[in-house]
A = this chain, B = another copy of it.
Amino acid sequence: MVKPQGLLLVLSGPSGAGKGTICQMLREKLPDLAYSVSVTTRQARNGEVDGVNYFFKSVEEVKQMIAEGELLEYAEVYGNYYGTPRSYVMELLNQGKDVILEIDIQGAMQIKKRFPDGVFVFIVPPSLDELCSRIYKRGTDSEDVIKRRLASATGELAYANEYDYIVVNDVAQKATSKVLTIMEAERYRAARTYFIINEICHAAHKEREI
């Protein structure tokens, strides 16, 4: 019996949509769900372990990975590179493990180009009002930052149709259960399950040989 490849679940959406909470809840419900370890060029902080928190790399190493298509996505933030290592993710998937990536829209769009077989889920707030109050509640942002975040969130909503699924996050637990349903259904996708047909036919072929 062939073991099917795991799912790469890409959870994305505008900031304040609540993808972090859903990601956390999924990991609690699915202890086997793997979480990709990112590559970074920034210095390791106290207590951070290479290969656990991040893969710490030099700028040259990361640039080479980019050149060789070895990052599913990457971004430069304040002069440091952050990225998702393709080979690490592929190894997990090939072991049959599901991998979750919680990522911004730019990152998700990069992954879609390089790994279109992923399951791309766009998390949206039930309304912009709600999005606004969630950003407010964080309490860490100034009025100006909030306004900018809100404007960019509205713009980001337009990316929804680049995704496979849209999940409205009204209540995080409900939204999480919707993502679980999507993950189950995706296992029955013909493209992922076709190996079963080969197995049935192969078995039939063997029967004939006997």
Contacts and interface: CB of A to CB of B under 8 A. Distances in A.
Interface residues of A, number: 38
B154 A204 contact: yes
B127 A196 contact: no
A200 B165 contact: no
A124 B197 contact: yes
A127 B203 contact: yes
A167 interface: yes
Interface in A76-131: 122, 124-129
Q: Which of A160, A161, A181, A188 has the most CB of B within 10 A?
A: A188
A201 interface: yes
B181 A194 contact: no
Contacts of A203: 127-129
A48 interface: no
Nearest to A185: B185
A193 B181 contact: no
A178 interface: yes
B165 A189 contact: yes
B181 A185 contact: yes
B200 A128 contact: yes
A193 B163 CA distance: 11
B201 A188 contact: no
A197 to B, nearest CB: 5
A26 to B, nearest CB: 15
A37 interface: no
B207 A193 contact: no
Contacts of A154: 201, 204
A125 B127 CA distance: 45
8 contacts: A125-B200, A129-B203, A157-B200, A158-B197, A161-B194, A167-B188, A181-B184, A182-B188
